[in-house]
Structure 1
Amino acid sequence: MFFKKLYVRIWLAVVLAVAVLTLLVGWAWRLTAEPPLRNVVIRDHVGRIIGNGHSRMRRPPDIGFGENSDRAPDAQDRWLGPYSQYGNDPEFVVLMNDGQMVHLQFPRPPQSPWSRPPFGFFWTLSLVGIAVALATYPIIRKLTRRLELLQNGVEKWGEGDLSIRVPEAGADEVTFLAARFNHAAERIETLVKSHESLLASQKSLLANASHELRSPLTRIRMGLELMGSSASPAFKNEISRNISELDQLIEEILLASRLDAREADMGTIESVDLIGLAAEECARVNAELDVQLASDPSATQAEPAGPSDLPVQGVTKLLRRAMRNLLENAKRHAAGEITVTLRKTDRQAVISVCDRGPGVPPGLQERIFEPFYRLPGATERDGGVGLGLALVKSIALRHGGTVSCENRPDGGACFVVRLPLSPVDKV
């Protein structure tokens, strides 16, 4: 984990690069350095050369010369070679003009084994690496710390804290990136707040309008009853039906407004028998009910469940409204039978309402749960204003569950509600 940090990798790369550079420079310096003196000239008191010697760095094969040798080099072959008899220090053996020999030795000061090649060079390289590491660490850490601050800011912003901003210190590319992020975050925060304010105003308007519409609806209903026999039965039935639809719409708008207000108390939380509730609602629309209970998670066959085997914690009237809206939606668009399936998993109760209608295009399976959204091509005669499925989603979310839409392979759509079996604190 330590080596995954950006500043550690940059730091190690700089140290390694400097160490390799030092190694190459030292190697080139050793190659290009001037060789030690290998030519000796001996002069007399008036400056005449009386002898000289030149190093060939190797010993002539036909001459054996040393402390134990009685042979001397030829007068025309003045040379100097490394003789093991004299040790490893620099030596010069010079043949004089009179035939005498001069032997010069230059002993080196004693050296520790750790200071001799190659250890001495490695020590130097290590010291250079340590010096570079100590000098570059603060600089690289300062740079990468700003990147870490930017990363933390982006993560918090992505988690939903739109008010987060990152510091803009310096005048390099990191500062420019931080400034661009702050500018974008500020614009998005402004847009989100404007959208939330608009939605709040819209919900408040709908709620107030719904309350205000109840009074004229009551007066219209009373006037219809006072008309007596002066109006035809068909006319009265049509007006009654329209009033009922308008009254249902107002009720749904009020319920949606209360569901959106998280602080609103929606009712008493109790144990709800989903099987009994589903059976009652299926009987209203003549839908088929299929109850399944998996006794073993690894089993492939499901067993029929009893009427009290699938209880969930929630508000009965809200769960009934969700079930009724799904069945009415299926009845409105179905071209055949409607099937309601109840299943139990390890932690969830699953409600599936399937029909044989045209289905929902994949790109619109999320949008149909938005308030007042209707599928393209829907007409007034199809009924509904686009609040039924939005209420189902709000009710499922208030109970800690989810809702989704899936198309059936053989035609039609299935709306699947998943509710937790664990108790909920508040709805």
Structure 2
Amino acid sequence: MHIGLRIFFGFFLIVGLAAFLTLRVFVQEVKPGVRQSMEATLADTAHVLALLAADDMQQGHIANGAFARRLAGLAQEPVNATISGVRKESVDYRVTVTDVRGIVSFDSAGTDVGADYSRWNDVYRTLRGQYGARSTRTDPADEDSTVMYVAAPIRTDATEGGRTLGVLTVSKPNATMAPFIARSREKILLHGLLLMGCAFGIGLACTLWLVHGLRKLQRYARAVAAGQRAEMPLRGAGELAELGRAVETMRLRLEDKQYVEHYIHTLTHEMKSPLAAIGGAAELLQEEVPPADRRRFAANIQGQTRRLELMIGKLLTLAAVEQKQQIEASEPVALLPLLAQLVEESEPRARQRNVTLQLRTVPPDEAAPVVEGEPFLLRQALANLIENAIDFSPAHGTVDIAVVGEPGAAGAAIVRIDDDGPGIPDYALPRLFERFYSLPRPDGRDKSTGLGLCFVREVAALHRGHVTVANRAGGGACATLSLPAARR
């Protein structure tokens, strides 16, 4: 299962289970809580009515006295009230009075006068000085037919000894509280569903945030494993950012170690030939040789020494570019003025080889594109391409430098440099951008360091562009540097 789903289901399971158990407890407590409140109200009512009935009970006319007359029409008393959204239209109380033997002397419903209630819990316990209450079904098969009975003693005045004259019981069907219980349950369930929905949303948001961070780290790790330039995507003080920094630190240390090992290997390999030539010439100079040979050997030493210096300098420059993960100081760079300056600087070298340099924009009247980047690195990269084109151009040849701007918001700025040279052998095309790989010059001059095109490729990648070198259909080679155009 995907890690995001695991995190989400784990979070939602914990929160959902906690919410479910909490809701269940609430729902289970609603009904008992309402009935307990009703019982407390019935107890208060019973004691108040017991005080009011004491005089008629003591005088022996509880069945037809003022108290009985007032309560006789209790069930028919109209009520016009809306309580918590529930409509109430009648009094639900029933009042019964029993004597000290437990015989019913008065019944507001008029049905049980003369009945023996002495064994009912409310009457039985109250006559013995205890709290008397019970809940009894009117229909044994119907759980919702229960009626709650709460009793209070009817006593004489304290000055007369406070004797118990009887018991007054107030009863009320539990079914009358069902609408309130149902309404409370609905509210609890509604808020519970809202809670679950909020938990779902929070869990989803947290999961997406966490998975988004993990996917950034995953893409970063894959890019690093593929040898691509990649910037650490996470910032801040969170655990994911800390993990990302740890991965980046490990990567840098491993890359530094591998980079140094690789460079030492390649540098020592490439330095063998110049050092061997210098060593051989130095040994011959220790012997008596003709002046012409001495001058030739000394020139060889100087030439190989310059080659070593040039190789080391370019290698250090390439190493600096390869170690960069991003451009530190980016600014708009107009390509046409930069190329015009490079053409002017390369003119003496081109004239020495009878090569013509030609700079143009495509189409001719089109404004030259601008790119975002580091001017020094772009200058060095373009200078390498122009230098290569001059070196491989024959006498009286032309190096054509064209600046092309692609239209659109996501357009590219393209520099295309064509020469009239012999072109690139098929076997060399896949290796042109390898470090230290170089082809012999057409006029028999020494090979270059083989680091120029590698440097151009690194600069292009650093600017989110790319470089290609291919043969032209009519002869010669074409180098193309493509960079993202700056937004205007």
TM-score in terms of structure 2 length: 0.39
What TM-score, normalized by structure 1, do the two folds share?
Answer: 0.43
Larger radius of gyration: 2
